[in-house]
Amino acid sequence: MKIVTWNVNSLKARGSYVEAFLDAEQPDVLAIQELKLATDKVPTEMFTSRGYQLAIHGQKQWNGVLLASKKEMTDIHRGLPDGDEGQSRLVAATIDGIRFVNLYCPQGSEETSDKYRYKLKFFDHLLSWVGDSATPDQPLMLLGDINIAPHPHDVFWDVQEKPNIVTHHPLELERLKNLMDWGLHDLGESLLEPGDFTFFDYRSFWDFRARRYRYDLGLRIDHFLVTEPLVSRARSMEVLRTWRHKKKGLKPSDHVPVVLNLA
């Protein structure tokens, strides 16, 4: 099973780019974040005409998540109870016996901001919801733009000199550890060895600002977090950095697709 997570940073702006990706890569399951479209405005035909079923949790102008699957989806769930504060950041479905949870987690802005406090609360509610709706011995996959870089080599700054920057902040890392302690595993750690890390073969997001892609200033914030039953089924991961370039004049997102191949 070929599974892809991708923050497209507006499906309206990048619909043709996403169509080119679907034709070239043909994933079995695609998790998209940042639709920036209301559910009834999502161009569903671009997926259904290619044989995909859809689960959509959209929002006008902001946020929004979508699951597309070549196989049947059941038990579709939208939204994080008590945690999303009206923002469309979670859609879940069961596909081929696996519970997929597509997430667009809050970025958080600055550590003193209300947005950061919201981010921390979001992860607290996410942990509670996961614990209430699943067990670690069930095949569960949280995937998407998690907006936390787990390790110092996942960011482009010196964390010793700047320990409290959002996306690699101690309070965020504590929330991520809570999810791991519950029973999740970061497949990026096991499938991409630290000795092979470079900005381009490992990280998945480069801000449009300050030419960060050009200067290799990237972050690893797009993740596959899975329970133990899926760890042994994971065969490989790949960061598709070619999809950070223009395609026939079409502009890319600031994130690239990340692929997981699952047995």
Quick: pLDDT tens for 113-172: 999 999 999 999 999 999 999 999 999 999 999 999 999 989 999 999 999 999 999 999
Q: Residues 198-202: contacts with CB within 8 Å, 24+ apart? A: 199/156, 200/239, 200/241, 201/239, 201/241, 202/153, 202/239
* pLDDT band at residue 205 using 50, 70 and 90 as cut-offs: very high
Delimit the domains of the chain by residue range. 2-262
Q: What is the dihedral of CA 164, 112, 90, 30, to 10 degrees?
A: -40
Name the class of domain 2-262.
alpha beta
Q: Residues in the chain, how many?
A: 263
157 conformational bin, left if phi > 0, alpha if psi -120 to 50, beta if neither? beta
At 50-59, the pLDDT tens digits run 999 999 999 9
Please report the pLDDT score of residue 211 as a whole number.
Answer: 80
Q: Is 0.85 topped by the overall pTM?
A: yes
Q: Which residue has the tokens 């300050």?
A: 210
Cα angle 112, 117, 121; round to 5:
165
